[in-house]
Structure 1
């Protein structure tokens, strides 16, 4: 006898919750979907985030009885890391407010900063333990709440960071912290949208391969006793379907094209021309630079703590940047870099790789400034002394627009390269871009790069989003005892 589904949608259409819902257009018409216990769904496609919000109870169901939760005894929690998610910047409440991600390196630890333990403790489902009576009972309840925080931190490998300011957590640690926060609310269903990409304040940053694998492994452990939690994943096209996922839904244009058990849906989609990646594929994509770098051990390449210099194609080219045994520290935190030496010469193209960000180029561009006309210089740090002619500038810009007209990443990329600076630094510049736009940007970068005087430094976490480089440097995790590793691409 089949078990009662936790979520059941039968022949139901939906309208957005707006000021005039009756006049709003219908999406996901005549949709049918069911989530049964022990199923782990991966939802792919352009409207995956919308379907996840529908499953979590958002939007207006037509008819109202078409969406039911017959077997649900607990709650549903949605954690979104995707573009357009409600969470912006760092973890909400990190310093009694919001800020942008790179501020964790710039800001000093202030008295109003919140530790991870405090931040998670405020997320536990239930009342304040002192609301219900005497001091002894309150102290016992506090001890129980502390144990819940420590248990979920252990499950998500966060215990060593509990007394650390949430402002200083890395991308992967912050992501696990948000999932821990959701789990402390004791959901029966956990929906995680784009767990392997993050989009604070309009930009998207992917995880490096080790962090990706760790997060996938941690999610695979759910559900677990004594309070089982079902998992729904919203995945990007470049994200492989986890090996532990049991079912797949594929969406296009607000319609479910295929759904069911993974072993049946993936072959069907591939036969129809859909490129579906799977962690267990025998035929894997060609290894990228990142695959090579993350598989290499420290003793197989040069390190910044040895006298051997970083690799260079030509020592006769002009030096543009030179660092010698530098240390970067924001007290009282551990050093981000120490004993680090690096020389960048004209003509070199470098790929720095790190599990944390090292730049702050992804500023939030207001909607009224996202146009070709507003790629003009605002100060000398962003533009050369002799900017290109307006005709050449406008011609290059309009070759990308209007298709990518509102893409703030495209605007930032063009702003960085159109001026022909001696040094171009691209920090996750192509992450989250439409693949067609990204490939055009990569081609423009290759065609316009002047190897006689320019140098390129490109930071990336996804192989397809790293431009062609000659050399790479793998930077250590902040506070670790490891050192930087250099190598040839």
Structure 2
């Protein structure tokens, strides 16, 4: 029976009802849906067990996290016993342990040919060991054949890294599901020596890491023992263990100006709930020991509360949930302008400066946002090609006949006069999935908010586009990739100063020192290099403590490896 406190609407149906097909508002008594009884029930039991859905069966579907929802959809598809099962990016949004569980399940299905499987994968997704054939859709054309032949050909052409440089390539190939070395005691000891959790004297709520010599900024988010429960199920809370073996109940976490947080944890560990509390979307944000921008949600004697609109004006947010509900009929320009609106469909508060900011972002990402874009001599629009002197087009060679300063002026004026009429007519819903994610990413960062929340915001993007967004987040228009339209591996891409920076025509400088970032991801490649602090939530119901720390180098490049994040 569903607990009433966990319902969002009276019409919410449980995950079990969803899997059985009982989703009608007023179902006829005695009708169990399309999948009830016999082999279907056995298949449901198997799918629920293998996809770790058993503890979620009584929860309303609306309360599931993004990763849990994806697992539920996969289970629903399997229970339908199709002849051919098409899974579009099935690993997106799933944590590594769940991927390690899901892959063997799909492998057994593939081996039985009931149903036959076709998977679409992103470049950062691990390729299951049981895959036999590949179709590679790349910038230079389509390749298809056996897996070994295609991978060998791509490596020879440096389109993918060698296995030793790309450990995630066979992430789920081992019997245990993950081909990595677990964090040993020595590694954990070094981690503790490098970034020791400690509280700040006089600030009991600050249970986070302070780097050596780091000046603490103004608190933007203060969680002083937050605990969220749905009935008997605790979603956020549990003990936080510090070096002195002191245990504090609930979540103690402070996000300050200048912080760059990575928020990690398995599906269902409470990441989405924490973000909904911060954004004041969660009803319990009124009753929790929580302060946002120095204010509680409810007014106190002599102190004003803070409205949801005041909160959201100071937060830039991109997530799969926003993507799912964002109006598809808005134009691309309206999507970016919506950053200054109170709701998806309300009128944004614009001025001349904000209009110029929108134009700057549209120009910088026009080759990613406009599917009809095609570079020509008259209207080059890929800034990598424009700003790389070694690979100029015919227009660039014409400019080289002038002196270097005049050539730069020509390039800048050509770039700044680019026709952006396409953004006034092209609808958000008509964009490819990757381009939609780019538009929502820009919507989150364009107004330079106090707090930027990127909740799997870079998932679903092509790898080159994803890296371009991360470069833009860190450096704005001041840096660009070398090599023009080079879609090769990340290690082969250089970074150089843009001409806009050289001539002082930059509008967006990247994430500012006064801004804070919270990034949620299950994939290492989607974690921006600017992330310095990390908080790992335990699996719900495990009884394990949270873990947090600070790193001085991009995740995976220094002492802290991606596998250490997920080590229990």
TM-score between the two structures when normalised by the length of structure 2: 0.53
8 Å CA contact 2:459–2:526 kept in 1: the answer is yes
**Aligned match of 2:455 in 427, 433, 456?**
427
Match of 1:397 in 2: 361
Question: How far apart, in 1, do the equivalents of 2:443 and 2:21 lie?
Answer: 42
Structure 2 CA distance for partners of 1:410 and 1:190, relative to 1, 3 Å = closer
Is the Cα–Cα contact under 8 Å of residues 192 and 231 in structure 1 kept in the other structure?
yes
Q: Which residue of 2 aligns with 1:372?
A: 333
From 145, 151, 154, give the equivalent of 1:266: 151
Q: Is the 8 A contact 1:323 1:343 kept in 2?
A: yes
Shift in Å, 1:471:
0.9
Shift in Å at residue 449 of structure 1? Answer: 4.6
2:544 equivalent in structure 1: 482
Which residue matches 1:466? 527
Deviation at 1:320, TM superposition (A): 2.5
Look up the match of 1:220.
107
Q: Report the Cα distance in structure 2 between the residues aligned to 1:450 and 1:143, rounded to whole angstroms.
A: 56
Correspondence list, 1:59-74, <5 A = none
2:517: which partner in 1?
456
Q: What number of residue pairs does the alignment pair up?
A: 357
- Residue 126 (structure 2) pairs with residue 240 (structure 1): yes
In structure 2, runs of 5+ residues without a counterpart are 23-27, 170-178, 239-249, 277-317, 370-430, 476-508, 552-568
Q: Distance in 1 between matches of 2:360 and 2:251?
A: 38
Q: Whole-Å Cα distance in 1 between the matches of residues 465 and 521 of structure 2?
A: 17
Q: Equivalent residue of 1:399, what SS?
A: helix
Aligned to 2:244: none
Moved more, 155-164 or 338-347: 155-164
The alignment partner of 1:324 has SS state of strand
The alpha carbon displacement at 1:399 in A equals 3.1
1:259 deviates by: 1.2
Q: 1:115 aligns with which of 3, 9, 14?
A: 14
Q: Root-mean-square deviation (CA), in Å?
A: 4.4
* Superimposed CA distance per residue, residues 351-404 of structure 1 (whole angstroms, 9 cap, x where no aligned partner): 111334524644244344333355335447999999882464145323324323
- 2:227 paired residue among 284, 302, 327: 327
Could you tell me whether the CA contact under 8 Å between 1:303 and 1:484 is conserved in 2? no
Q: Identify the match of residue 97 of structure 2 among 190, 202, 210.
A: 210
Structure ranking higher in helix proportion: 2
> 2:444, 2:66 → 1: CA distance?
24
> What is the CA deviation profile of residues 147-206 of structure 1, one whole-angstrom value per residue up to 9, with x for unaligned ones?
443244334443444444333344444333333323333344433221112xxxxxxxx3
1:42-53 alignment, distance < 5 Å:
none
In the TM superposition, residue 263 of structure 1 has moved relative to its aligned partner by 2.4
Over 3 Å counting, the alpha-carbon distance change for 1:293 and 1:466 in structure 2 is farther
Higher strand residue share: 1
- State yes or no: 1:438 paired with 2:453: no
Contact kept in structure 1, 2:226 and 2:236, CA below 8 Å: no
CA distance in 2, matches of 1:449, 1:221: 46
